[in-house]
Structure 1
């Protein structure tokens, strides 16, 4: 999903031992647009004419840019790596509309690569832009190996950016790695950044609501195609975003690097809902010094999304989180902020049915005007209650996405881990990973109730927020195959989405007063 925010230029790295593993390092860049992003940038406020300040996510976005070559002879392209969507699409070199984000339609609440289904071509926004901003447009007429399949391509993301064009197949080269006949789209009308989605087949737009049910299909996207071509054993990859001050991260297709994490690599189930890479969050704790209290307990859906810069909480939790972490509202910038010194010893602990990741509260902030502004935002689409855990969460975790077995393995990220220790991932799963203690106790679509939600008490802290969730007629089909087995497409504004109500415990609130 492209909750847009940082660029990364991928460089092919040859592994010293011949393995079925393909590694790419990428530069992490930030900027006001894909083509203007640079290293070492941070989110910024923009001054209005009335001397007040506004904050827009799209004014300082983070991109993980993958440099690829497409066609024969090769044409150089730059695309945004995204675990939250599943399609590769490029600019058409003949596009009338191209390049920059539609900032007039984006906002803090909607800067996202979360896919929106149910839109029609008439909903698409086609502002006039420059000539692809130097990112590169694909000229299919100049490639001798391109095959057009005459199927229309339509996609709309959660930040109202869109793309429209046609589908085809061609040779795609990433570093020295060649993938023949890879399916991708060419967009003639767009106000978005080209995206290289590497998620589940069920999130592909060919399986979305733009197609009638009888015509829906999935295809082999990059991870699946790499497995079919024998470049990797199974459609799986590891993502390491590195520390916030670093400018290089890595993605490892088909492998895991044990030097990039500490503790156990713990495996959890992917929640099979609408084709997305969601997992179950069972508890969130807030720790200040030696004091711990449970902020949220139950079963919540959480999307792990490298295409999203910040972290988003559902409405019901957003205000409570800011209150419990002693955030202060600033009317000028219309954001919550902290005294930077006061949050130095505060940590947020996320429990994914037994896999735990700790994130310093400072990682969820960025400095501006001497303040630590909150990087936790509100996710306020109707009827959508899941978390979106973006880059400011993911940089604290080492994450392995096993698309074959519908599993995700997590561990605490280790920066400066020394010499690489790379091992192949096989169809049996991720090497050295252990199953989470409550591996099977996941969010179940249509069967979730308050008893289940409040029964997962992993430690003795007094619960502050419990979850009561209901569901109606949600789709739950999926695929654990690298081929084109069916799975339901992911929609952040679907009529099938979950609804939730949150109960605040008075006793839990009182227990938090000792934090102040």
Structure 2
């Protein structure tokens, strides 16, 4: 969900080559796949402030994944989120629709493997809602893989009907922000318990019309992208790796639509956040992009609307990174709301919301992203929406180059760490929900 992305000064630092992932091809790789259903939901955006993860809702897309918690297993579906780090679910009888919670809840008294950690779990939301309760240990099952003594939050007081599976840095957990220390969240637990080599995964959301996307823990699927993977360093926020943030150097428009874009606010640091529906860019640049597509910003709604026929126009919004660009067709930035479309880029003032900028789902659907939490880097390529047969490579340990990847320079403080374990590829499918916007927001 919309996470911390501070406007950093990137000039003046020493530059050194960055390391990248080691990939291995296995004849019989173990995989784990989850299929989930399309659903309608609100545009999601969360922000991390000081010591809490903050979540606000507009109206749009989620990517969800199914888990089993406890013994015997209790089924839940949760939002998969690169912008946060905790798994949390509602306790039985808790949540905004506790009487009929189709997403599932967790009853600790019904699990023989449950144990209480503490009562310090809390997530606070911008709109005044919150989730709070206990941290517990219990088994968590993803397909055929079972993690034992896995820590997660159980909300006994919540205004949200669905929980979240945060897969960011363990240092971004709410317990760490409150001084309670870190624990092994999902990527770390999979590595620690020997299912993957290191805390790394790749995410492919496919296009907006697709019923499924894929998250692959411990591996890279070369069929899911075109061209080369380009590695970028993850940027420290306030001197700490706790957010999956990269440097964005600017944006521009190519194709039949010719327009200038005000890039004076760049470079900025933006979070790669699968839990945020839209993309938040510096205000001047975003306003120029809104004008370029003929959209109109609706202040009360918090986004711009445009005629859906714009999707037929032949031009792209290009995101500029160090060493490469990623082009996003304008049609991929439009979210169909029925009588109009929402434009998927939103202006964000650098002096508001702690200077946050976010590369959300409207960007990520056009990108194949590999997140390497061990080496503090990501690798990005153009997504392939017609991939054909899978070709999966395991991510190893250490700091060698990704095949067909182009390394990009990093700041001198980008750390690299080795992690040794047995290797297992875990393949997970998630799903893009349909877009629904409340027309009442547009009423005069």
Q: Is contact 2:197-2:419 (8 Å) kept? A: no
Matched, 1:24 2:33: yes
Q: How do 1:26-105 residues align onto structure 2 when only pairs under 5 Å count? A: 26-27=35-36, 29-32=38-41, 58=57, 60-95=59-94, 98-99=95-96
1:289: which partner in 2? 256
Aligned-residue offset at 1:396: 0.5
Q: Which SS does the other structure have where 2:85 is aligned?
A: coil
Q: Which SS does the other structure have where 1:265 is aligned?
A: strand
Q: How do 1:105-116 residues align onto structure 2 when only pairs under 5 Å count? A: none
2:244: which partner in 1? 277
CA distance 1:285–1:334, change in 2 (3 Å): closer
1:387: which partner in 2? 357
Matched, 1:432 2:403: yes
Matched, 1:257 2:221: yes
- What TM-score, normalized by structure 2, do the two folds share? 0.77
Show CA shifts across 1:391-447 (max 9, x none). Answer: 11101000111011110100000011111100001123573153444x2269x9xxx
Show CA shifts across 1:96-125 (max 9, x none). Answer: xx13xxxxxxxxxxxxxxxxxxxxxxxxxx
Match of 2:326 among 357, 380, 394: 357
1:103: which partner in 2? none
Deviates more, 1:64-73 or 1:159-168: 159-168
CA distance in structure 2 between the partners assigned to 1:332 and 1:225 by the alignment:
42
CA distance in structure 2 between the partners assigned to 1:176 and 1:32 by the alignment:
29
CA distance in structure 2 between the partners assigned to 1:341 and 1:132 by the alignment:
39
CA distance 1:481–1:171, change in 2 (3 Å): farther
Aligned-residue offset at 1:369: 5.8
Aligned-residue offset at 1:58: 4.6
Q: Which SS does the other structure have where 2:249 is aligned?
A: strand
CA distance 1:163–1:333, change in 2 (3 Å): closer
CA distance 1:336–1:434, change in 2 (3 Å): same
Matched, 1:199 2:163: no
Aligned-residue offset at 1:202: 1.6
Match of 1:182 among 144, 150, 164: 150
Aligned-residue offset at 1:324: 4.2
Structure 1, gaps ≥5 residues long: 4-14, 34-41, 44-56, 100-128, 445-476, 484-516
Aligned-residue offset at 1:282: 1.1
Aligned-residue offset at 1:150: 2.3
2:424: which partner in 1? none
Match of 1:220 among 164, 184, 187: 184
CA distance in structure 2 between the partners assigned to 1:151 and 1:304 by the alignment:
30
CA distance 1:441–1:478, change in 2 (3 Å): closer
Aligned-residue offset at 1:133: 1.4
CA distance in structure 1 between the partners assigned to 2:88 and 2:353 by the alignment:
29
Aligned-residue offset at 1:281: 0.2
Deviates more, 1:379-388 or 1:219-228: 379-388
CA distance in structure 2 between the partners assigned to 1:226 and 1:332 by the alignment:
42
CA distance in structure 1 between the partners assigned to 2:116 and 2:210 by the alignment:
40
Q: Is contact 1:28-1:64 (8 Å) kept? A: no
Structure 2, gaps ≥5 residues long: 4-24, 45-55, 421-444
Match of 1:411 among 372, 381, 385: 381
1:493: which partner in 2? none
Aligned-residue offset at 1:384: 2.9
CA distance in structure 1 between the partners assigned to 2:207 and 2:68 by the alignment:
29
Q: Is contact 2:133-2:156 (8 Å) kept? A: yes
CA distance in structure 2 between the partners assigned to 1:89 and 1:290 by the alignment:
44
CA distance in structure 2 between the partners assigned to 1:482 and 1:155 by the alignment:
31
Aligned-residue offset at 1:130: 3.1
CA distance 1:294–1:81, change in 2 (3 Å): same
CA distance in structure 1 between the partners assigned to 2:405 and 2:250 by the alignment:
20
- What TM-score, normalized by structure 1, do the two folds share? 0.67
CA distance in structure 2 between the partners assigned to 1:83 and 1:331 by the alignment:
28
Show CA shifts across 1:280-329 (max 9, x none). Answer: 00121211338575642631111111101111224444333323444345
Aligned-residue offset at 1:87: 0.2
CA distance in structure 2 between the partners assigned to 1:306 and 1:334 by the alignment:
19
Match of 2:207 among 225, 238, 243: 243
Q: Is contact 1:25-1:249 (8 Å) kept? A: no
Higher RCO structure (Cα 8 Å, ≥6 apart): 2
Q: Which SS does the other structure have where 2:355 is aligned?
A: coil
Q: Is contact 1:25-1:251 (8 Å) kept? A: no
Q: How do 1:83-162 residues align onto structure 2 when only pairs under 5 Å count? A: 83-95=82-94, 98-99=95-96, 129-131=97-99, 133-158=101-126, 160-162=128-130
Q: Is contact 2:397-2:419 (8 Å) kept? A: no
CA distance in structure 2 between the partners assigned to 1:299 and 1:71 by the alignment:
45
Who wins on radius of gyration, i.e. which is larger? 1
